[in-house]
Structure 1
Amino acid sequence: MGKKEQDITQGPEHKKSSSTPNKALRKITLISTFGGLLFGYDTGVINGALPFMSEADQLNLTPLTEGIVTSSLLLGAAFGAVFGGRLSDQRGRRKNILMLALIFFIAALGCTFAPNTEVMVLFRFILGIAVGGASVTVPTYLAEMSPAERRGKTVTMNELMIVTGQLLAFTINAILGSVLGDNDHVWRYMLVLASLPAVALWFGMLVMPESPRWLASKGKIGEAMRVLQQVREESRAKAELQEIQRAVTKESEIKRATFKDLNTPWVRKIVLIGLGIAVVQQITGVNSIMYYGTEILKDAGFETQAALVGNIANGVISVIATFFGIWLLGKVGRRPMLLTGLIGTSSALLAIGIVSLVFEGTAALPYIVLSLTVTFLAFQQAAISPVTWLMLSEIFPLHLRGIGMGVTVFCLWITNFTIGLTFPVLLGSVGLSTTFFVFVIFGILAITFVQKFLPETKDRTLEELEESFRNRIIPKTVPGQKKV
């Protein structure tokens, strides 16, 4: 080995770990998923901060400016997801996560000390860039660090950390709202706490290894081997490195799809289905509850502090349902799981709309609405959200994955942005019941799309799916299962 390579391998990622490979992988998973925790906290904290932030002596927000403040993060995330993936390919997963941690920290402080709406929107947009970058970089890093048999479980830990971050935000909002509710700047305390996980992520990633997959793709074979020896048994590290080298060589020979390839009918169809999956997850209205849950409960009749406390239930059910969803993915097909989730969420939203009319002005209404938002999130987080991200990773053949994931994730965030922007305007102009009836219509359209166009990807290889689309056959059942 030459002197140059020896010098390169002296960084923190190449120090011989004294822990076992399993412990090393658990440590890597814990540290890197602080990016998911930040994702969850920063998207959830606005839920409780908005009522205080909107006061006349604070930022004096209208329904429109509430939507702009909330959705500016989501617009930033759309661009962060696109450019974050490219930067991690160029600079490395570890370096990209370090950069994102710094952006998380600076943007959290910028939001905390924002003197007006314009500055708040600017730093929320910057914060969104970090959220979007983390949404693509952290799962990629985890997938490349994990052995094949543990990859699914390890990668879904990031989804679990996202909903845990949202639960943490809801809980802290409730505590600060109850203890410091009379303080004009309580919302600033809610926002500044997001800087602490960012610090933990930055210092933690300083001693984490780089992805061996990325190192091998850059020709740094010696470094890749050293990292694999930290997270694999000695006998397995060499064999896996050879697999990685073969995969890198194969990928370098594959002609990647471009936008010109969308003229090919089967390519266009599979990309459109990917876009549909992304849109379906968002038009359920899930993020109207995750971002505006406190406002919804206030509109139903709760006082601000009671709404903050009640909103914790939404966070708790999200975490529990995500655990269940991770388990369920290995048991049933993607299509029936997604259809069941959409029927459940649409029914819950329809019930919210009806009871808002029938029980308007009664003391029971806020409690009924809370129970229905919890029911909604149980279906969403146990069925729809896990299937969405898994199917997006499964549906695209290798040569389509770059353009497919780029376009679909960007579209997902733009849809999220649109809903985040318009929801408070709808709520303020047409009321709670009509707003949720609109989402019921979207839910019916989503069910129709899944029933008619969505393929079943469980237990099928990428090659089998590609062949099906080439032959204009959409597989709708798990192999070996009789079609009902």
Structure 2
Amino acid sequence: MQFLLKILEGSVSFLHKEKSGPKKNNPFLSYTSYVIALGGFLFGYDTGVINGALTFISRPDQLGALPTVQGLISSALVLGCMFGALANTTLADKLGRKRLLQWVAAIFTIATVACALSLNAWMLISSRFILGLSVGCASSLSPLYLNEVSPDILQTQNVNKNAIAIVLGQLTAFTVNAILGSLWPDWHPIWRIMMLAAAIPAILLWITSTKIPNSPFWYLLQRQREHAGRIFKELGFSKTDIHENVVDAKESISQGDKTNWHMLFSSKPAIYLLGAGITVGFIQQASGINTVMYYGSVILEKVGLGSGGSLYGNVLIGLVSSLAILGGKRVVERLSSYRLLTIGLTANVVSLGLLSWVMKTTPLAPAANNVLVLIILAFFLATQQGLVSPTTWMLLSEMFPQQLRTTFNAMSTAMIWLTNFVISLIFPILIAHQGTAGVFIIFTFANLGCIFLAAIFANSRLVKRAAAKF
């Protein structure tokens, strides 16, 4: 895990020429950050593992999942993620970052084993919902934890390990599924081994997390300054960094966790900003990205790649996603997020429209047509993962004023998971009734609608004007 992350991070530095500055990432901090990033790896792995496993799960001699049940199996995890993410703030403050991360690893392991041993579809759906609680919690906890254990100059570098770990987890899941599916293509219970493999990084996280420190910022919130001071020193924080953390902790303690809901819903600027955040969250998922990340093998089988070919097609999907998020990060940081969002959505319209036409008309010979489908899918993934997805996260981190940021960001993130849940649930039904070409036509028009929504709500001038009211 650490070796692969270093390779990817080296690629980022080579491509983007990171800003120069002293590198004080001491061995203890490096170890701590890589362990915490395993939470992101778990997030990526388990959102990706269903992609290859679902084909085998749906076999008549296995669980015989029909399209509606397939949607429930995939979306159950996402629904759990929504609740897990919302619960993270309370649990992280009450239990502490380290203990919560260990609970995430434990629940993840138990739920993963339950998924692998499921006797019927409803047991699998229930187990994946519980698994989603831990995945959703990890998706919110890991970047928070990484931010708090990192000195200011290393925060971007260390928090980015989580983003890299997510796509690396998805790529690993696709690769493991492809290998297992190729070695035992006629042994339909292989999906249970695919599911069970996800327990390995969870156990590794639980074991390695025993040697990492709790967040020093959390100790400050608990008024345990001696513990905080010792850990700050071990992690290599400067006196300036420590002072800033102390000031931020005092402000957090004095502010408390009360939200003035009457103020929020009686203020037109606040309502607009909330609408903007929720719209940005909706756009990220309505573009159709997770139909490919969750159901890639189903889609590729339906266009004629076959079971083995579709599994290796998923590996290509994972590789393109990994390279796109690495290559697009610096672009998103340097150029206007609002403009890049429109550019990315426009590219989605072109690629999905073209994909639908190729699937419907089959203009080339079958083998060549399959290659063309993979190329167009790769282009869609490159623009979505390189521009649209990171841009939406960037917008949600910067568009709200400080006093609204925590509440509005949480509500906008919940919209991401909710939209993801709905699309994951209905996609198998849509593909059964409309076919692959028809479904991608629907998402082509969905992206057109997202461009219109972005023009209204993800408008730089209007958002800044509303934020200036606070």
Query: What TM-score, normalized to structure 1?
Result: 0.88
Q: Does 1:270 align with 2:266?
A: no
Question: Post-superposition shift, 1:241?
Answer: 2.3
Letter aligned with residue 383 of structure 1 = L
Taking only aligned residues, the RMSD between alpha carbons, in angstroms, comes to 1.9
Distance 1:335 1:409 in 2: 18
Q: Does 1:338 align with 2:346?
A: no
Q: Deviations over 1:182-219 (max 9, x none)?
A: 11211011110000000111111111111111111110
**Is residue 144–residue 212 contact of structure 1 (8 Å, CA) maintained in 2?**
yes
Question: Post-superposition shift, 1:48?
Answer: 0.3
Q: Does 1:126 align with 2:124?
A: no
> CA 1:351/1:467 → structure 2, altered by over 3 Å: closer, same or farther?
closer
Aligned with residue 411 of structure 1, among 412, 415, 418: 415
Task: Please show how residues 252-267 of structure 1 align to structure 2 within 5 Å.
Answer: 252-254=253-255, 256-260=258-262, 261-267=264-270
Distance 1:465 1:245 in 2: 31
Letter aligned with residue 185 of structure 2 = G
Range moving further from structure 2, 130-139 or 339-348: 339-348
Compare the two structures and name the one with the higher helix fraction: 2
Q: Does 1:245 align with 2:222?
A: no
Question: Post-superposition shift, 1:22?
Answer: 2.7
Letter aligned with residue 351 of structure 1 = L
Query: What TM-score, normalized to structure 2?
Result: 0.91
> CA 1:368/1:374 → structure 2, altered by over 3 Å: closer, same or farther?
same
Question: Post-superposition shift, 1:358?
Answer: 1.5
Runs of 4+ in structure 1 off by over 4 angstroms are 464-468
Distance 2:201 2:246 in 1: 35
**Is residue 224–residue 241 contact of structure 1 (8 Å, CA) maintained in 2?**
no
Q: Deviations over 1:249-300 (max 9, x none)?
A: 2233447534322221111111111111111100010000000001111111
Distance 2:260 2:370 in 1: 50
Number of residues of Structure 1 aligned to a counterpart in Structure 2: 444
Task: Please show how residues 37-436 of structure 1 align to structure 2 within 5 Å.
Answer: 37-232=41-236, 236=238, 238-254=239-255, 256-260=258-262, 261-359=264-362, 362-363=365-366, 364-436=368-440
SS at match of 2:118: coil
Question: Post-superposition shift, 1:351?
Answer: 0.8
Q: Deviations over 1:284-341 (max 9, x none)?
A: 1000000000111111111111111112110001111111122223321211222221
Q: Deviations over 1:221-260 (max 9, x none)?
A: 1111111111115xx1x33222212112223344753432
Identity of aligned pairs, percent? 33
Letter aligned with residue 230 of structure 1 = E
Distance 2:76 2:466 in 1: 40
Question: Post-superposition shift, 1:470?
Answer: 4.4
**Is residue 213–residue 244 contact of structure 1 (8 Å, CA) maintained in 2?**
yes
Structure 2: unaligned runs, 5 residues or longer: 1-23
Question: Post-superposition shift, 1:380?
Answer: 1.1
Question: Post-superposition shift, 1:343?
Answer: 1.4
Question: Post-superposition shift, 1:362?
Answer: 4.6
Q: Deviations over 1:416-449 (max 9, x none)?
A: 0000001111001111111111111110111122
> CA 1:167/1:21 → structure 2, altered by over 3 Å: closer, same or farther?
closer
